[in-house]
Amino acid sequence: MRVNFTVNGRRQEADDVWEGESLLYVLRERLGLPGSKNACEQGECGSCTVRLDGVPVCSCLVAAGQVEGREVVTVEGLADFARQREQGSCASGACGTSLQDAQSWSAAPRDGVTDSQTGEGTELSPIQQAFIDAGAVQCGFCTPGLLVAADEMLERTPSPSDEDIREALSGNLCRCTGYEKILDAVRLAAARQERKEEAV
């Protein structure tokens, strides 16, 4: 079957989709967006978390056919998504990318100035930057799902308590870090966000 939907503000069409395929498979194998991860494919680890019409869900448990006409944000679009939210064009968290942004959007934004292959110079969302700065990334396989979940939590709860953070991220397994640095990262992103708002 054919499925049409919007990913990170861009219209996408997937053809010859087997009816049993998940949104996760379509993103990874058909649309060249492997950022959402395939750790358990049973909704137990959160590595494949994306936003579906603004709501964080496990993309492994969404049948591809169910996303027809809907809006998906993945980790690849998180920086753009956060930037637009900050610019006030997306208060609800469920909006897409403008046509102009969509046309210039790329899955692998590179800073043309340096020859860096590490993505330095890439514009990151505050939560992405905080994960790097706090040492919340080790193998990184859980990171995309955690970022999408944490970003959405900070959107709803800008000054979360530790227990709020733990609850919001309780659907995302990490095997490397013991979660301490992930908590640090979310606290850091929240604090930076607060400082920014105070400055404004």
Give the relative orientation of helices 126-133 and 78-86 as an angle to the nearest 10 degrees: 120
- Least Å from the CB of residue 13 to other proteins: 16
Given CA atoms 19, 25, 28, 29 in this order, what sign does their dihedral have?
negative
Structural contact between residues 93 and 85, judged by C-beta atoms closer than 8 angstroms: yes
- Least Å from the CB of residue 198 to other proteins: 25
Is 149 a residue that touches other proteins (CB under 8 A)?
yes
Q: Which stretch binds other proteins (CB under 8 A): 82-90, 92-100, 176-184, 187-195?
A: 176-184
Residue closer to other proteins, measured from CB, 74 or 96: 74
Q: Which stretch binds other proteins (CB under 8 A): 37-45, 86-94, 96-104, 188-196?
A: 37-45
Binds other proteins (CB under 8 A): choice among 13, 103, 104, 180: 180
Site for other proteins in 85-124 (CB under 8 A): 107-109, 114-120, 122, 124
Site for other proteins in 59-88 (CB under 8 A): 60-63, 65-66, 68, 74-76, 78-79
Structural contact between residues 52 and 62, judged by C-beta atoms closer than 8 angstroms: yes
For 159, the token pair is 């000054």
Is 135 a residue that touches other proteins (CB under 8 A)?
yes
In angstroms, the CA 176 to CA 125 distance is 23
In angstroms, the CA 36 to CA 144 distance is 6
Burial 81-112 (b: 16+ CB within 10 A, else e): bbbbbeeeebeebebbbeeebeeebeeeeeee
Q: Which stretch binds other proteins (CB under 8 A): 27-35, 87-95, 97-105, 189-197?
A: 27-35
Is 32 a residue that touches other proteins (CB under 8 A)?
yes
